[in-house]
Amino acid sequence: MRLMLLLLLLAAPAQAQDLATIRPFVQVEEPMVRLSDLFEGAGPRASTVLGPAPAPGTRMVIEAAQLAAIARQQGIAWRPVAGVERVVLERPGRPVAREEVMALLRAALRHQGLDEDAEVELMMTTRPDGAPSRTRYRVLERFAAASLVQFDIETGRQHQIRVHARAIGHPVLLDALYGDDAQPAWPGVIARQALHARKVVLPHPRTGAPLVLEAPLPDDFLRLLAALRG
């Protein structure tokens, strides 16, 4: 009996080494979640598929009770100790080309019986988890119906000035996509959104030195200013 007890005591550490441990935070690249994504030391069943991964750009949290149930079903030597263990599965997002988005939109238009060759313009928005963007602005002149504003952009997001102007409640005048339907029309004065790139600074493609490009206000913009002042 003493010999048997000694053998059992000696065998215990070897069994402890075979215990699986959870992986608290995992980035999943594949569309399916496998047992090895949840547990270190999952053994020969490590590649077993458990289900679909979270959508790109989102995460999934698996709590202790779920982990215990999966371990039991898959024969994994693991059980929660404190009851607060969990695994966070995160699937990185991916940049989506404009062409891919447009193809999906046109397919949806075709499914609805609409003209898939119709002009489609994507509308951007501001959101807390969006790409970082920064715009500085200064009011140069105020009129009864509008204001002349100078924008300086520190990032280059699509439609950045138009989106930020709308976000603060002052959309660009005559902006058909982000503007206000109540904005006045200016027939014979200007027939486009009242936005002009006065100055652009870019690195020179060969030397890297600042390359400054300036363009004076076009005639329709000057006519609009004259109408606002008058």
- 223 & 172 share domain: yes
Residue 129, domain member (yes or no): no
What pTM, to 2 d.p., does this model score? 0.50
Residue 14, domain member (yes or no): no
- 172 & 187 share domain: yes
Task: Decide: helix, strand or coil at residue 16.
Answer: helix
Q: Residue 5: what pLDDT?
A: 37
- 30 & 73 share domain: yes
CATH of the domain at 62: 2.60.480
Residue 127 sits at φ, ψ, to 5 deg, of: -155, 150
- 73 & 107 share domain: no
- 117 & 193 share domain: no
- 184 & 201 share domain: yes
Residue 8, domain member (yes or no): no
Residue 16, domain member (yes or no): no
39: domain range?
21-90
Q: Residue 103: what pLDDT?
A: 85
- Give, in order, the Cα–Cα distances in Å from 176 to each of 60, 93, 118, 138, 141: 39, 31, 16, 23, 23
Residue 130, domain member (yes or no): no
Q: Residue 56: what pLDDT?
A: 84
- 222 & 192 share domain: yes
Which regions in the chain score pLDDT beneath 50? Answer: 1-17
CATH of the domain at 161: 3.30.2350.10
* Residues with Cβ within 8 Å of residue 145, at least 6 apart in sequence: 184, 228
- 150 & 195 share domain: yes
- 86 & 101 share domain: no
Residue 9, domain member (yes or no): no
Number of domains making up the chain: 3
Q: Residue 198: what pLDDT?
A: 94
Q: Residue 18: what pLDDT?
A: 64
